[in-house]
Structure formats: structure tokens, C-alpha cells
Structure 1
Amino acid sequence: MNLADSGAKGSGARVPTAGDAIASRVYVVLFADAVDFSKRTHRDELSASQAMHAAFGLIEREVDRCGGRILNRTGDGVVAAFESAVTGTRCAIEIQKRFEDIRREKSGESFEFRIGMSMGEIIEIDGNAFGDSINIAARIERLTPAGSVWMSSTLYEAVRSRSEFGFEYVGPFSLKNIAEPADVYRVYDGSAAVTLRPANRERLGEAAIAGREYPAPGKKPSIAVLPFQNQSGDGEHDFFADGVTEDIIRNLTRFRGLNVIARGSSFAFRGSALPLSELGMQIGARYIVRGSIRPAGSRVRVSVALDDTQLQHSVWSERYDKPLEDIFAIQDEITELAVAAMAVRVEAAERERLTALPPRSIDAYGLVLRGQAKTLEFTAQANGEALQLYRRALILAPDYARALAALSRAHSLNWRYGWGEDPRAGLDLATRYAMDAVAADPNDARGHGELGFVQLYRHEHSRSIASYERALLINPNDANIIAEYADVLTHSGRAGDALAHFDRAMRLNPLYPDQYLWDRAGALMLLRRFEEAIQQIHAMVNPAQGRRILAVCYAHLGQLEAAEREAALIRAEHPGFSVDEWARVIPEQTGEGMRLFVSGLRLAGL
């Protein structure tokens, strides 16, 4: 769908006259566009036209139900406007959910849509709509993956505090005719879905940047590996390309001579068109690794380049053409060559091969990657789907350590949040799978990390600390493991020690997820640094997830009106919330810490 930059009604810009009726006001703009309409029309014009007619009918009914109106409809797209930011955002999510339900019930008969959104002034002249907000929504839509909703930072600011939505920062993008790179966010149904996803703090003000007083990082060279491009033209290979990228990042983190930017931050810059120097500054890395993958029959072609962002030149590049089954050897070779290109001096002991054992089937590898994407959604349904994917992977590769570790985390979440058919058994199952992961591959840091995670919630604090310390010996630069280790220290009566580890995790992962701030706020709360803890929660992209900590901190500061407000919101979101039940979940080792938390919740009125 191509609309002129001059407005939403076709490609020809009409010159306004003195007699035109002109109206102007701020609206939320929804720009929806069908995926592969031309391709389906070429295959079967009648079927495609019927499917598009039905899809338009669905969109128009949802827009009307939400109190919006259609500004324009052309070949394969729709532009709609809403007076309410919340209602417009909810409508976009519901449209995508309805299409997903139809595809599930009718085996993919419906089109998939991309939805881009923005907010700003629209000028209407005799029924024709004009405005930058329409153009921006259209340009964001072109970046958006099928089935998703992405929005401008202006709209994000208007709805970010609503707990019914979750937001993921997907990076700065250069939009046509927009001078500065624009921050763009993906919106989800529910804020819990994105607690572990990357987040940009720069737009949230000085208090949002937790590391502003941290000591400067050391002189180790920093490196970021951007998502490899899938050049096959087949979306099914996207997970494979992402998996190769993740394994290269994981391999690089084993070298103590490198500061490796975490996966979440690197993936936020997918498809970025920023100049090399600007990219390096925003992601915090001097060296950038970029690559592409093109599967061709039984072979795979991989191109890799290592660039110096400060000197703006290529340090090293290589191309590979190998049988697909050798992909794991290719990843190892890329890692070794990248390190050599940067002349990193690494001791022989640190060069020891610690690569997690690859599965006997690449199919299992793909299933685990899909499962991990589901686990990050943080909902009961998504977690259940992840469990099924991990189990399928283990049927193909019974001793696959990554699948066993992932299965452990999914069962831990079932236990913690009361999900699944038998959540009480979740912790025992999580323990078993974590131990199986360590046994299957003792050199995989993730298995030790998962074992530490379940040991924490079994109140085996000393064992949990030992497991995380073993994981960090194997993978010393894994930002997520560092942050989880800091959280264990917090719950073990060592909140003061934990802060330095949270700081290090944030330096290695500059686009750190909300979970880091959430857990760091918990440490500050236990240290009775209540004002700082409140600042940390408000720095979250989805601050609604930190309401329990806010209620406790406000209560202990004597700000009971604010504490009661947070308590009311907690009850509204979780009608069955029980302080006693939550106290049984919190893995606090010290009685003093538990009393601080429970007394604060009760003072707030819970």
C-alpha cells in the first residue's frame, strides 16, 4: 500500500482552495497493511480478493467497535484514526488477535497484517486527511514484522503507564524525510510479557539511567554482534539466522579479554540503517560484527564482517560455503577468527572449548529457539506452548542441554505464578531438568544458572550462589547470569554486594530489560534506600510490573496515599492477591527482609 506523503487519500495531492472545509486535531493513527497480497493475487486472484474483503470487514468492525473511523482503504491496506490513545492501541492488539485466531482455526486462510501506529495532528480538507502522523505510521508499518504492532515514541509516551499493555524497544530507525533516527516500540497484550525484553532508557530522563554514576568500563575492547540477515526469502529460516547470531555471542562471552554486548541490546538494532560511527555510539561497542546467511539446498553460505566503528573501516571479513550439518563448526570458526582479528590476548585455559553440545538434529535447535521466544512472553498460555516445544526438541535430542535448561525455567515459572495444570509440582520438575542439563553438558553456563535459579526458590541460598558462581566461571560476561546472580545475593542478605553486579550487568547490556531494574529496586528497598528504589521502578519501560515494590517503599516513607493507590492497582490487576501467599513465594533468607516487605504491603492496605 503506497500513500503519498501529502496525505492518506491516494497518490495525487490536490491543491487546497479558499472554499475548502478545513479541520485539524490530534489523533492516533493506525496503518494496517496486508503481507504478500501481490504474491497471493498472482497465485489465485479470486481467492485473494475474497480473503482481503473478509479481512477489511473484520478491521472495519473492530475500528467501529472501538469508536474509531476509517480514513482510507486502498488495495491492501487501511488507515484508521482514534481520539483515544488507549482505545486505539487496544484496537490494534485486538485486530491482530482476531487474525491469529482465524489463521489457527482455518489453517492460514486469512492474511497476516503489519500494523504501524503514531500520534499527531491530522488536517482534514473536504474529507481528505493529511499529516506527518499518517506518514510516520506508514513508514513504521513497513518495518513491522507480520502479526505485530509497532508504534512511534510519541504514542508510547501516551500509553506507557497502562498495565494492560507491554512495550519492547525495538530500536532507532531512520525514517524517510525525518531528520533524526526515530525510536520505535513494539506493543504487547499485557506488561508482564516484556519484563525480560530490551529497553531504551534515554527517553525516560536522567533518573532512568541507572548507570549514570557507575565507574567507567575498563579498557577491554567491546564488541556487538548484530542479528544475521536471512537472505533466503523464506521466513522459516529467521529463527535459524537468529540462532547462529546468539551462539556467536555466547561463544565470544567466554573470552575475558572482551566486553560483549548482550543479545537483547544487539537485537534491538536489527535492520538499523544508522552510520557505523553512530551505531557504535548507541550500542556502546567499538567493534561490530555483521553477517548474512543464505541456505541453498543442503548447503549454507555465511558471510561475516568485523568493523571498527571509530575508525570506520573493516577489520576482517570472510565467506563460508559449507554443508548445513557443519553449521556448529562454522560458528566456532567465526568466533576464533573474530578474536584473532582484534588481537585479543587470551590465555590457553580460557581458549578451552566450552561450546554447549549441539543437538543431534537442527530441528531440535529450532524448536528450542521458538520455545525461548514464547517463554519471554511471560503468560500462562505462552509458557505452556514453550513447554510443548521443548519436549518436542528432547524427543529429537534427549540429551540436549539447552532444551533441558529451558524446560527447567518454564517449570520454574509455572510454580512461581501458579500456571499449568499442576503448578505445585513445577519446582520439583524444574530442579530435575536443571540437574539433567548440568549432567548433559557441565560446560554450559545456562544449565548451572538454571540450577541456581531453582535452588534460590527452594531456599538453598548457599547452593544457589555456588551454582551461579560456577556459571560465571564458564561464561563471565553473560549479562543475564550476572543480573540473576545479583538477585540471589539480594535475597541472601547481601543486597549491598548485589548492586555492583547489577551495575556490571547493565554496562554489558546497555539496553537492559526491565527485570534488571525491578530486581535492583528490590535490593535498594532492602537497604532502605526507598527513594532510589522508587526511581528505579519509574525508570522501567513497564513500571506497572513494580507496583509491589512501590507500595512497600511509599508505605515505609510515610506516603500512605501513594502506597494505597499502588495497592488499589495491585488488587485491580490481581483480584486474588494475598500477602501471605506472596510471602511464601519470595525466597528471602533473612527474617528482617521478609518483615520489611510484608509490613510495607500491609501498611499499604493489602
Structure 2
Amino acid sequence: MFRLRTFGGLELLDEHGHAIPFPAKALVILAYLFSTGRRTATRMEVAELLWGRGTPSVAFTNLRRLISRIRGRQSELNVHFLVFSNHGIELKSSSITCDVSLFGMAEPEGSFDELKVLVDRLRSAFLDKIDLQNSLFDHWLAQQRERQLIALDHAMRLMASLANTADQRAVVQQAALLVFLTGSNDQIAPKFLLQAYEVQGEVELLKRTFERRNEMLASWMKEKQSFPPAKIAARAANVEIINPAELTEHSRPSLPRLALLPPSNYSREPAAAMIVASLLEDITIGFCVLNSVQVLAPYSALQISRKTEDQLAMLEHHGLTYVLETRLSGVDEALSLFTQLVFLPTSEIVWAERLSLDGARFAQNRRDISGRLALSVASEIERHRITRSNFDRNPAAYHRYLLGRRFFDRLTLPNLRRARKEMKAVLQESANFAPALSSLARTYSEEWLLTARGEAVLLKSAEAYALQAIETSSDMADGYRELGVAKLLQGALDESVETLQLAETLSPHYADIIADHADALAHCSRLDTACRTIERAIELNPISPDSYLWTAAGACYGLGRFEAAIGYIDRMADGSLADRLAAASWAMLGHRDKAHVFVTRVRETHPDFDVENWLSIVPIKEKWHKDIYREGLKKAGF
């Protein structure tokens, strides 16, 4: 007795389970007859299935050659699976069985054993990796896979209400997950997954998240009532507070759509791929039972992940607003998964975390890891969606805002002024567009840094726009971020760190805010903490903007790590921003000749640069920290 395996590949097996050589297209004919439940097929039908409808004479010639090979091989095996006549091909099933036969039954018996067999079959795709490169075969194959999925769905629904034991519920769980993983309809199985897994705690988690946020904002408003303008304090009582009791399934508008892209595997661990697969399965369960997000079917996500050139276009085509990217790295006990949630319209990293998987214990704690991950991401999406609501209210302003944001990619005075012009145009469209207000604040503080002339009016403008952004949208982190930067440059160092810490708490994985927090810590002379903080920002945003690297270089310089400082400067796209720092670093290493190159460049741009005047302007908390800057700049020749 022989057996035809059609799921996960296509093989003819003997009674011991060993693969037997047989013409590949002959196996396709067998699979075709078994899957359709038919005994015979015409020669024309089979020829078109195997070679398409292009040139009939060629297809029939190929079929005659194939039949000759099949007859010869069957004679060698002393069996006759297929019998050929002038017009047809007949299946003789007395000496062969097939794993697809169960799907050809007119009416399933409705047992848990049968459901388990269906699940086991569909863990692998029917005729996986078989590609005959003709549309007729592709269409037939897609129909068969859809029919098999419908059979599994039907059996799952039939048995779900009858599951009483743990084993029976486990079979229903696996069936529901497979329907979701392989189905084209994203929402075909979540109800059954919810029943099977009984995932709880989503609403409670969201309640706690927003309660903490509300307490933090209320505390900040109470402490800062003396901030100008006075109307900020007047609005404190009217800050939009999220009512946790309203966080229910019915009160939410249309759900945001999320794609969970399969992880890139940077691990050398051979078993890492299996770990990734099981983790993805559990994370998928977590997402599809939650009511706060709609997750793209994993099959579609896999296809998108394989695209490199037009991936963003595909994501937008599917109406996605968020992508969860994952990267696996390390080996054995050091195995870890880095995850980051990206808001597609602005490429903003909303949330990120590195999870230690500990390969040895992963089997025991994987469900806990994936459940916490799914719930955390869902709550971050909910929080982020509320803060971004003003984008949806004014699409024209949002579009103009995105145009203006492009000019922040490279910090030059012309770019800053172009950005300022665009942001003011945004405010003509929508006077209370908070992101534009905070971006305007950024243009003034960055201009203050680039000109190095100590113009107080620039920082006052930055502070005023930042406070206006907070007034307009008090739960968005951007306004607090810009206020913290303005306070930093004005010399209010402790106040700056406190405000940036609040901004980071509101958006704990927003790399730009973390970088600004690191900069404030560096100016407060807390250099070790600054280095750790800026490295966290760089990890979240590995293709880092120059401002990150500049901050890292400055912190390293203050710690006496001059070579590391130069290393960061060398990574900058426009190293001229840090010419003073490069000159001081080379001078402290004893390379006066290299330092002189940067001194010359600085004097070309700022001929009146004076060390003491500069140190009197730049806010640095501790004297020893100023002294090391003075020493390096003087040694360099300033």
C-alpha cells in the first residue's frame, strides 16, 4: 500500500513512510483526482491543468510523453495507480491512499478526532511549493485551499460549543488559529479564539494606563500654574481627561489596522526560527482577540515582508496605520527579540521594547511574553490614536505639516527657515494644530544653536510656541519636549530635565524625545546617564539624525572619552555641526594639526567665535564640565 502526501509538499511514500521516486506531474494528477473526489478526468482536462491553454498540440505532446514515463515507472513498482485510455485517465485507489481525501467527504462526521486530523493536515499548505506556472493550475489550487479552509471552519464552528475537556478546547483553539492564519478574511475566527483562550484584562490595562497619564498631567499643571502665558493655568481644569469607564468596545470608533511583520533573524541559534514561529503564533492570538486593534492576516503580512522596494505602498494599499517590526538576535540564554511599533504616516516609533527570550525556558514562558506584548502594543495604539486625533480633523493642515517636517532631516539655517514658513502656513489652515506649533518652537531653538549668537528672542519664541502647543493639546508629548529644550537653552537645567522627563513618560519610546532628554542630562553634567539615554535613542532609531550623534559625542567628550566623541562625529551626515567639538577632541588627544583643520572651518563660518563668550552662553551646570570644554578649545587654538 502506498500513500500520497499533498500537504507541505508532494511525495509518494511507501508503507514504511519512505519517499518513492515518481514523475512530479503524475503526482499532481493523483492529487487532482483525490482532492476533487473524482475517479476519472479527460486527457484535455489534465493537459490544460498541467500546461495551460496556450498551445493544445504542445500540451498533448507533453502529456503523451508523461503517460509513457508513468506507465514505465508503474511497471517497475508493479502497481497501477493511473490507468489510461484514448480519451481519459482513471484513478485506481486500491493500492494508494491520500491525505487530502478527508476534505472530499460530502458531509463531515463532526467529531473532535476528525477536527484534529483537519488541523494536522492544514498546518502545512496543500501542494506547498508546487508551481506549474500557468494560471489555470493556480486558480484550481487556490479554490482547493479555500475549500479546505471552509471545511476546517465548518468543523470548528460545529465542535466549539461541544468542547468540554481541556484536550477538546485545545483542538478548537488550534483550529480557530489556523482559520485566522490562513484565511483571507481578517475577522473570520476572533470570536472563537476569544472563547477558546479567554483572554482577559484588556480594558483594565487601558484603564490603568490612562489613569496614570491623567494623574501625571494634572500634577504637572498644578505645579506649573505660574508659567506664562497665564491662560495655560486657566485651562488646567479643562484638560481633556480620558474617562477609563468609557474605554469599552462599543465606545471606540473605527479600529486602527496593524501589520505584524515576521522578524528578521540575526541569531545564529539553529532553533531560533522555530521559536520565532511559535511566538508569532501566540502574538497573533493576542492581537486578534483584542477589541482595540484589527490585525492584518499573517499570510498577507508575510507577503508584504518579502517586498523591499514597494513595501510602504503595499502597507498603505491595505489601509494600515501601524506596523510592528521585530528582530531576533543572540543565542541560547542571550536570545532576545527587539520589537518596535511604527506609526506609518510619520514613520514615528511609538513604542519599542527588547524582550529576553532565554531559549532554554522559552517553552514555559512564551504565552506570558506574547500576551504581555500584545496587550502593551494595543494600549500604546489606543493612547497614540487619541493624541493624533487632530490629524484626522484637518487633513489639509496635516498634509502641509508633513511637507514642512521634511526640512528637519538636515539641520541648516535655510532648512529651518523653510520649515518655519511651512508651519506658519499650516496654522493658516488650522490655528490650533498642535504639532505645527511644537515644530515652530523647534525651528527657533535649533536656530539659536546653529547661530551660536545667544539671541534671547529666539528662545523666547520657542518657549511661547511650545506653551501654545501644550495649551492646544495637553496630552501630546511634543509641546513638553519643545518647552524642555527651550528651558535647557535658557539655562533652567533642572526644569528642562523635569519637563523632558514628562514628555518621555507620555511617549516612552519616542526616540527624538529620548534624545532631547539625553541632551538635557548632558548639560546638567549627568554624563553617564546621558550616554545611556542617548544610546537607547540610537537603538530605537538606528539610522540616527545628526543631533543624536552630536549629543552622544558631547557626553563622551565630557567623560574624557575623546576617541569615542570623534567616532560619533564621523558618523554624522554633516560633521560641520560639531566642528568645535571635533577640534577640542583632537586637541585633547594631542593632535594639534588635525584640530587646526576644524578650527579653520569654524572661523570661516563664525569669524568672531570666542571661547569665553561661548561658554557664558551654553548652559552647563558644573564648573568641571565647563573647564574641560575650555581646555580643549584653547588647546585647539581658539
TM-score by length of 2: 0.42
TM-score by length of 1: 0.44
Bigger proportion of residues as helix? 2
Q: Larger Cα Rg: Structure 1 or Structure 2?
A: 2
Bigger proportion of residues as strand? 1
